[in-house]
Amino acid sequence: MKELIPIGLFQKGQVKYFRRDFIKNIFLSLLGLFSIGGVSMSLMKNENKKFKKIKFSYKVNDKHWVGDGFYVHGLLRPSDELNKFISPFILMDYASPKEFSKTTQRRGVGEHPHRGFETVTLAYQGEIEHRDSSGGGGVITAGGVQWMTAGSGVVHDEFHSGQFSSTGGIFEMVQLWVNLPKKDKMTKPKYQGLSDGDIPKVKIAQSSSLRVIAGEFDGVKGPSSTFTPINMYDLTSESGDKINLKLQDGSNTILLIMSGQVELLGQTYDEQNVVIFEREGEELELVISKNFKGLILNGEPIDEPMVAHGPFVMNTKQEIIEAINDFQAGKMGRL
C-alpha cells in the first residue's frame, strides 16, 4: 500500500483566532458561553459529532496481476495501522476498466484454498466464472455479486467466463475479503450467487441511486446473508447530487471512488481514491459529481485478534499452521 495520509484535526484556514478575542473566548468558554456566529460551542460539538470524520485517504496508482485475468489496484491490506478502522473488511482489490482481447485460453486464477473469512466479488463489466470444492459456483455477469463463505475451508478457482473470453471486452470488478468472528471461522462453507436483478435499487436524490447489496437502506434490505452487521452499497449519479447517508455510530466505513468526484467535509476526492472514516459519527454528507460511481462499505468492527497469512485469516498463529496442514492433507477438498 502506498502512502497513508492521516487527516489532521485542523487544516489550514479551517479555524482562525484573532488575538483581541483570544482571552475573551477562553474566559467565556469556561462559563459555557463561548459562541461563534450565535451558535454555542456545545451545540457545535454535538453537530460535529454526528458526521463521520476522515481518518485516511489515499490512492494506489500501481497495479499488479492476480493470475493472468485480474489486473488490480491493491487498495486494502491487513496492517496494525488500518485494521481497527476497516474491520470487518480485510482486503480490497479493484480491477479498474481494462480491455481484454478475445481468446480461447482461460484467464484468471487457478485452484487455491481459503479459510476463516469470506470472499465477495462484484462484477461491474465483464463476466467471472467460479467453482469451489463445496459445490458452489456459477457465472457472475455484469451487475452480479458472488459471496463465498470459506469458513472451515474450501478450494476454488476464478476465471473470465467462456462467453466473455470468446468475445473479449472491458473488464471491471472489485474483490473483497470479509472477516468472520471467531465463533464462525469454522462454519460450513456457503456460496451466494446474485444477479443484477436480485439487488434492489433505491433512488436517493434527483439523479442518484443506491444498490443495496447487503444490509439495509431506508427500509430496503439487501439480499446477501452476512455473519456480522454489514452494509454494502453501490452509489451512482448521472448529473450529480448532494446526499446524506445515515450510518451506525461506532461502525467502520470505507468509500471507493471508481469514477467521478466526491466532496467530503470541504475536500474533493477523485477516482480510485479510498477514503476511510473514523468510527465515531452516524452520518456522511457527500456532494457527488456527474457520472459518479462509488462503493460504500460499512460494518460493525470485529474487535478480536487477527492473524492473516496467505489465503488464511484466523485468530492465532497456531490456527494458521493447522489450516496449512489441513489443506495439504486434502481436508479442504479438491476441484
Q: Does the pLDDT value for residue 41 go beyond 50?
A: no
CA-closest candidate to residue 158, choices 335, 314, 309, 295: 335
Question: Residue 250: which residues within 8 A CB-CB, separation 6 or more?
Answer: 279, 280, 300, 301
pLDDT tens string 112-137: 999 999 999 999 999 999 999 999 99
pLDDT tens string 281-293: 999 999 999 999 9
The average confidence (pLDDT) of the chain is: 88
168's grid cell: 473479449
Check residue 59 and give its pLDDT.
Answer: 95
Percent of the chain with pLDDT over 90: 84
> Domain residues of the chain, as ranges?
58-299
Q: Does the pLDDT value for residue 24 go beyond 50?
A: no
pLDDT (mean) for 43-50:
53
pTM of the model: 0.85
CA-closest candidate to residue 120, choices 145, 96, 140: 145
pLDDT tens string 236-273: 999 999 999 999 999 999 999 999 999 998 999 999 99
pLDDT (mean) for 170-191:
98
pLDDT tens string 261-271: 999 989 999 99
Q: Which amino acid is at 308?
A: A
Q: Would you say domain 58-299 falls under CATH 1.10.510.10?
A: no
Check residue 49 and give its pLDDT.
Answer: 65
How many C-alpha atoms does 115 have within 13 Å on its Cβ side? 23
pLDDT (mean) for 325-334:
97
Q: Does the pLDDT value for residue 65 go beyond 60?
A: yes
pLDDT tens string 204-241: 998 999 999 999 999 999 999 999 999 999 999 999 99
